[in-house]
Structure 1
Amino acid sequence: MPEAVGVIQTLGFPAVLAAADAMVKAARVTIVYYDIAESGNQVVAVRGTTSEVRPSVEAGIEAANKTVGGEVITYYIVPNPPDNVVSVLPIEYTEKVERFR
């Protein structure tokens, strides 16, 4: 079954922490990427089936926006990324996250 990718970019760490927490609690997804973007923005990405990633991202957006001072800058869901995108961008399942799948 194809794996989707969901990404949320927030302003500040508390908002991305709230988003990541809500995302993994709302659906069967795995966090595959986290990093600091420019200007203090934070990015978190999850993988799972499309039917799981959509509610996960929605829950993450809601949680981030409820965080004091938190703000969702942008978000995006890719339903079925091609292999060349997965191999180039840091959204693969790594050994570090494999046990959480």
Structure 2
Amino acid sequence: MPIAVGVIETQGFSAVLAAADAMVKAAAVTIVYYGQAESARLIVAVRGQTAEVERAVEAGIEAGNTQSNGGKVITHYIVPNPPENVESVLPIHFTTKSEPFRVM
């Protein structure tokens, strides 16, 4: 089964926190990466089955854009089946930190 990856980039911490929270509550996905992209832009990446990742990203976008203190979603992207060479270079693989929470 292919394991998709979904990424959301936000402006501000509250938006990325709301997006991450909504993503894991809306679908069976695992957060595999969280970090700062540049300036006040933050990203969160989740992995799971393609349909679950799509549902999670939709929920994350909605939650990130409803922040009242100026946080908003800048961009998002879903890769349905990333090849192994992409997984080995980008920080989207399951780590020892994320493995206990793996949903599959």
TM norm structure 2? 0.96
Provide structure 2 residue ranges, at least 5 long, that are not aligned to the other structure: none
Q: Which runs of 5+ in 1 are unaligned?
A: none
Matched residues, number: 101
Q: How much does 1:64 deviate?
A: 0.2
Alignment identity in percent? 71
- Provide, for residues 52-101 of structure 1, a one-character-per-residue CA deviation record: whole Å limited to 9, x for no partner: 00000000000000011111110000000000000110000001110101
Measured in 2, the distance between the counterparts of 1:95 and 1:8 equals 22
Give, in whole Å, the separation in 1 of the partners of 2:6 and 2:51: 11
d(CA) in 1 for partners of 2:97 and 2:85? 21
Runs of 4+ residues over 6 Å off in structure 1? none
Distance, in Å, in 1 between the alignment partners of 2:17 and 2:74 is 14
Matching residue of 1:78? 79
The CA distance in 2 between the partners of 1:82 and 1:51, in whole Å, is 18
Q: Secondary structure at the match of 1:96?
A: coil
Aligned-partner SS, 1:99: helix
RMSD: 0.5
Return the letter of the residue paired with 1:48. G
TM-score (structure 1 length as normaliser): 0.98
User: In proportion to residue count, which structure has more helix?
Assistant: 1
- 2:82 partner SS: coil
